[in-house]
Amino acid sequence: MPKEQKWQIYQALGAELAPQSAEAKAIARLADEDDESQWITVIEEGEEVDVDASLEYLKNRGYKVEVLAKSA
């Protein structure tokens, strides 16, 4: 989606969202999507993801993590 369209969506939705909500912050980051420092996760296509390490990280941060099924 072209940046102009993303910005229009941001402007339309931004007025309806609380300025500090997660949604408003995520939409605000779309204006500068090339700035990797604005994104929590940066991964390239085909790059392996260590799911177990990610789950352990979340547990250490205090999140309750439950895995219902493992994918192949």
The model carries a pTM of 0.38
Higher pLDDT, 70 or 60: 60
Is the backbone of residue 70 left (phi > 0), alpha (psi -120 to 50) or beta? beta
Query: Whole-angstrom Cα distance, residue 27 to residue 31?
Result: 8
Question: What is the reported pLDDT for 19?
Answer: 64
Cα angle value 15/40/2 (rounded, 5°): 55
Mean pLDDT along residues 34-44: 73
